[in-house]
Amino acid sequence: MQFDQLISEMRRLALLAGDEIMKIYGAEDFEVRSKSDASPVTEADEAADALISAGLRAAFPSVPLVTEEQAATHGQSLSTFLIVDPLDGTKEFVQRRGDFTVNIAYVENGVPRFGVVYAPAKDRLFYTLAEGGAVEEKAPFGPQPGETVAIGVNSMPDNRALMVVASKSHRDAATDEYIARYGVRDMTSAGSSLKFCLVATGEADLYPRLGRTMEWDTAAGDAVLRGAGGKVVRFDDHTDLTYGKPGFENPFFIAFAPGVLLAKD
């Protein structure tokens, strides 16, 4: 595997998928359907998925692929694979809030090693580098990478005054109760995998998720956050969140800057 090629292709496909998504986002109306788990899906999800999955399979035919919109890929047992959420934050997309992302990641031996997170409505693009680390690329985005800025977590968060980011669509009483254990300076909300990226850039210090997520929801943002020096751990025992779990379902988790002193159960 040539990791420079991998990251270049993931970036290219994320941008192309973002273009397709924005064409539909800008339309006066689009169809919204419910999947078997009652979650929404639109033609934008499907168009982005078709483009990304075809591109990844053509470029990396020997690497297994898992993608949210193709149920046939969900029954695999894998430790090294590509994983895609072509439109994370469909509720934000449908409500035209802009907090939706394209997510492509490469998991190696259960660890999300490389990832791309693209928020096309916000002109924000984050990705990991082959040599390590993570960057945010500045708009406008072209076929070749433009200006990039290295990103990193807040290295010395003040545990008496943390910035916390939580979900826009999935905030609940259990999450609020957990957040109340910390000294919080302020809170912000964001949709999709942008929450990981806000911690990765130091715009937030802590992102707890006490709700159901799947690995395609988190892998790319997790990779970017780890590349920026952050951590993602299970909520129950604070061990590292791993990937390739049965059914690709995550436990509750906490994403944070390592200087944050995690509350104990």
Instruction: Write out the two tokens for 108.
Output: 């190696």
Q: Is 20 annotated among the ligand-binding residues?
A: no
Return the number of other C-beta atoms located less than 10 Å from residue 170's C-beta.
14
Q: Is 68 annotated among the ligand-binding residues?
A: yes
Q: Tokens 């990226």 sit at which residue? A: 197
β-partners of residue 106 are 82, 114
**How far apart, in whole angstroms, are the C-alpha atoms of residue 81 and residue 79?**
7
Q: State the burial class of residue 28 (Cβ atoms within 10 Å of its Cβ: 0-12, 13-18, 19+).
A: exposed
Q: Is 28 annotated among the ligand-binding residues?
A: no
Sign (positive or negative) of CA dihedral 109, 232, 153, 6: positive
Q: Is 210 annotated among the ligand-binding residues?
A: no
Q: What is the 3-state secondary structure (H, E, C) of 56-104?
A: HHHHCCCCCEEECCCHHHCCCCCCCEEEEEEEECHHHHHCCCCCCEEEE
Q: Is 88 annotated among the ligand-binding residues?
A: yes
User: What residue ranges in 89-197 does DSSP mark as E strands?
Assistant: 101-108, 111-119, 124-128, 134-137, 148-150, 162-167, 184-190
Summarize the annotated binding site for Mg(2+) as residue ranges. Answer: 68, 85, 87-88, 217
Task: State the binding site.
Answer: 68, 85, 87-90, 217
Numbered residues of the known binding site for substrate: 68, 87-90, 217
